[in-house]
Amino acid sequence: MPNWGGGAKCGACEKTVYHAEEIQCNGRSFHKTCFLCMACRKALDSTTVAAHESEIYCKTCYGRKYGPKGVGFGQGAGCLSTDTGDHLGLNLQQGSPKPARPSTPTNPSKFAKKIVDVDKCPRCGKSVYAAEKIMGGGKPWHKTCFRCAICGKSLESTNVTDKDGELYCKVCYAKNFGPKGIGFGGLTQAEKKECE
């Protein structure tokens, strides 16, 4: 039977979805305002949606509900989450309950070694994990700390130079540490007199 006077029905509110406001996912149509995570109610788009049968979730809630369980899963590099998803109405206790873990590590020296092995950023002194590490001058840096020490410009592998453990853009390095004199990019004699 033809659908006179409208488009498909919304997968969330069951009202008619017209073409101008339609988002499609898994063969179903949604209003732009109804295209929300079923657990946390965050607005979704084509890059953040994760569908499971007729349900739509953000990738975080989908990972909590249907992803692998256990230490180190579902939260990103080097992250341990104690979030159970209870505040979102997610029932994550599927299968048999897991035995409780001891509150203190069984081998403290092994645990302490893991903490010590984390690289430190030379600029801010904080730990640098693999997901945010950029190597420069033989040292690990945070992406946000990988900037010229003089002008603060964000650096890349093509424009970075290092001196005495500090990073500089090529322009600042040339001005401060390069050859001096006329024709070498340094201050001219007239500019030097103006500075004095």
**Cβ atoms within 10 Å of 31's Cβ, excluding its own:** 18
Measuring CA to CA, how many Å separate 4 from each of 7, 11, 17, 165?
Answer: 8, 19, 13, 71
Confidence band, pLDDT 50/70/90 cuts, at residue 140: confident
| DSSP string covering 51-100 | EETTEEEEHHHHHHHHS--STT-SS-TT------SGGGT-----SSPPPP
- Does the residue 99 lie in any domain? no
Query: Residue 47 belongs to a domain with what CATH number?
Result: 2.10.110.10
Q: Is residue 117 part of a domain?
A: no
Mean pLDDT of the chain: 74
Q: Let me know: does 66 contact 58? Beta carbons within 8 Å.
A: no
30 inside domain? yes
Residue 90 is assigned to a structural domain of this protein: no
pLDDT tens by residue, 62-98: 888 877 766 555 454 445 555 556 655 655 544 444 4
Task: State yes or no: pLDDT of 44 exceeds 50.
Answer: yes
Percent of the chain with pLDDT over 90: 3
12 part of a folded domain? no
pLDDT at site 157: 78
| Structural domains of the chain, count | 2
Domain that holds residue 149: 133-177
- Give the model's confidence band at 151: pLDDT under 50 very low, under 70 low, under 90 confident, else very high: very high
pLDDT at 117: 63
